[in-house]
Amino acid sequence: MTALLIIVAAIILLVIGYITYGNWLVKQWGIDPSRETPAITQEDGVDYVAAPPAVLMGHHFSSIAGAGPINGPIQASVFGWLPVFLWCVLGGIFFGGVHDFGSLFASVRHGGRSVGEVIGDSMGTRTKKLFTIFALLVLILVIASFVNVVAGTFFTAPDAGVSGITTDPNGNQTTSMISILFIVLAIIYGILTNKVGLKTGPATIVGIIGIIAAIAIGMNVGVAIGRTTWIFIIGIYIAIASLIPVWIMLQPRDYLSSFLLYAMMGVAVIGIIFSAFAGTTEFQLPMVTGWKTGVGTMFPALFITVACGACSGFHSLVSTGTSSKQLDNEAHAKPIGYGSMLIESALGIISLIAVGMVFNKYTAGEFGSPAAAFAGGIALMFGGEATGIYRTIYSLLTLAVSVFALTSLDTGTRLGRFMFSELFLNDGEASFRDATGIRRILANPIFGTAFMVIIGCTLGGLSLSQIWGLFGAANQLLAGIALMAVAAWLGDIGKNNKMFFFPMAFMLVATLTSLCMTIINKFKGLAAGTLEGPMWGHYFQIVFAIAMVVLAVILIIEGLGTFRKQAANKAAGKNVEKA
């Protein structure tokens, strides 16, 4: 019954937060349904394409979810269920939801441009460039992390061994085949809705039938390829997906993928209810385990490790990079920005409950990854490991996790393309065609895409534990800076921005503390000779962490200066409405 009470309490609190706090934010910021969005005024058929709310919700939710709300809460579960529960729920309502909703709204009011442009509006061009560099470093970690996750859930054959199609697939081979079929299905859906003229409703029915067919095929025919080969294939795929128009791949793929996510969450809730009354498995996770665990002390480790389940800087990049270019009405910013974050918090709670069902095995190292523990915990609610239903649910949930990691890869690479180009464009230059000299080459979308993909996929060869620890801190630090950016802009136009200050300060302090601890511990490990694994990986983490801290401190100083100026202007009555 503990698991059932946890999920019921979480859903009630998140719904109350969405209705009350969400509506208050709408009023405070002045959301205007009558105002045309960039998707309408700047429509170009490639990046700026207005999407029906359900389609955009699918894209946004699938992109921000990825593997984050599964990996994070499961890794943080070693602190006990109560700390993770409180951070997912309260963090989602007052931190992550404000961050995502505010970023989306700010970008819409800036022509669908990135957080860097929002910063440039209130803090200047130099600060914009520094933030863009910071965000690109985070996106490299995003690509590396999710390349690692996807390749890990796809590969089965040794790189030098026999590979190809198999008619007796295991879980990974099934997952890879279904993921490939998903890509084909997305292209078909995009053509049907954008070129043939099929409405969203009938096309969705076709899409769901296609999903069922893809799963049926994948359960009987799989793909056996080595891990390194998969990384190479994934790199080519995300490069192409980031360059083609969003209606061909991004919108339809993420929309169709979202049905898997909703189904996954539905299956999990049914399993929790069934387990509570049938007693199929026992919730093993203690309420609180202690202040210090294997992942570190509760502060700052808990708030860094949970990541996307409560607050994530990557969400601000999605909100301002792709979603703001597809939003057809400002009124939809709340359900898509704020609502998606709270649904992700609910997924974080489901992940927490899932690992609670297999916690003893998880801490004993019997699962190869948090995703495996997630699938195993939910599948166990329906029956023992030897049953057919366990194996079926386990395979489908593993598939869902890999599909969402792949959607985050698609979006993350496209975001990297946008921001890499922005880095080399001067004020007033709309695209690489307006630039001159070497900047024209560097700002070219193909160059930026190749740069991000090559570095991200190369780093994807590192172990996930090496990447994820650094990604968590960098990602949360990005959230703190994005909160600062939106708060500065709102203050600049005379809107209430006080709801940003505490989340901003907390995220900045927690993440800078974590990064400094990482740097110190790495240096100690190097001096003592106790670090394991490839040494270049440890040196990379040290350099990356130091770069993050330096950039963040500079941005914070700039932000504090902006807030001081705004306070002085307000006292003098000089604030002017500009948005």
Tens of pLDDT, residue by residue over 327-375, are 999 999 999 999 999 999 999 999 999 999 999 999 998 887 788 899 9
Compute the average pLDDT of residues 501-513.
95
Report how far residue 562's alpha carbon sits from residue 568's, in angstroms, rounded to the nearest whole number: 10
- When the pLDDT of each residue in the chain is averaged and rounded to a whole number, the result is 89
* Confidence at residue 361, expressed as pLDDT on a 0 to 100 scale: 93
Residue 405 has pLDDT above 80, yes or no: no
* Confidence at residue 147, expressed as pLDDT on a 0 to 100 scale: 87
Residue 412 has pLDDT above 90, yes or no: no
- pLDDT band for position 179 (50/70/90)? confident
The tokens for 426 are 């001067």
- pLDDT band for position 4 (50/70/90)? very high
Residues 6 or more apart whose CB falls under 8 angstroms from that of 404 comprise 62, 65, 66, 67, 257, 260, 261
Write down the residue that tokens 């590396």 correspond to: 144
The tokens for 549 are 């801290």
Residue 496 has pLDDT above 70, yes or no: yes
Short-list 104, 130, 9, 23, CA closest to 423: 130
Q: Is 221 left (phi over 0), alpha (psi -120 to 50) or beta?
A: beta
Residue 130 has pLDDT above 80, yes or no: yes
* Confidence at residue 158, expressed as pLDDT on a 0 to 100 scale: 67
- pLDDT band for position 576 (50/70/90)? low
Report how far residue 317's alpha carbon sits from residue 196's, in angstroms, rounded to the nearest whole number: 32
Q: Which residue has the higher pLDDT, 80 or 386?
A: 80
Helix axes 313-321, 125-154, angle to 10 degrees: 100
Residues 6 or more apart whose CB falls under 8 angstroms from that of 565 comprise none
Task: Look up the pTM and report it.
Answer: 0.89
Q: How far is CA 62 from CA 110, 408, 410, in A?
A: 24, 7, 10
Short-list 415, 473, 550, CA closest to 135: 415
Q: For residue range 142-172, what is the model confidence (pLDDT) as tens digits? A: 888 888 878 877 887 666 555 788 888 877 8
Compute the average pLDDT of residues 525-540.
82
Q: What 8-state DSSP symbol labels residue 154?
A: H
* Confidence at residue 27, expressed as pLDDT on a 0 to 100 scale: 96
Q: What is the largest CA-CA distance in the chain?
A: 75
Residue 436 has pLDDT above 90, yes or no: no
Residue 180 has pLDDT above 70, yes or no: yes
Lowest-pLDDT range of 27-36, 321-330, 433-442: 433-442
Q: Are 203 and 248 in contact (CB under 8 A)?
A: no
Q: How far is CA 450 from CA 129, 147, 246, 386, 506, in A?
A: 20, 15, 18, 46, 36
* Confidence at residue 19, expressed as pLDDT on a 0 to 100 scale: 98
Residues 6 or more apart whose CB falls under 8 angstroms from that of 416 comprise 136, 139, 140, 143, 242, 448, 449, 452, 456
Residue 8 has pLDDT above 90, yes or no: yes
Q: Are 451 and 420 in contact (CB under 8 A)?
A: yes
Report how far residue 353's alpha carbon sits from residue 368's, in angstroms, rounded to the nearest whole number: 18
* Confidence at residue 13, expressed as pLDDT on a 0 to 100 scale: 98
Write down the residue that tokens 């800078």 correspond to: 512
The tokens for 101 are 């909703």
Lowest-pLDDT range of 247-261, 356-370, 495-509, 563-577: 563-577
- pLDDT band for position 97 (50/70/90)? very high
Q: How far is CA 525 from CA 138, 469, 511, in A?
A: 24, 16, 21
* Confidence at residue 32, expressed as pLDDT on a 0 to 100 scale: 95
Residue 577 neighbours by CB distance under 10 Å: 9
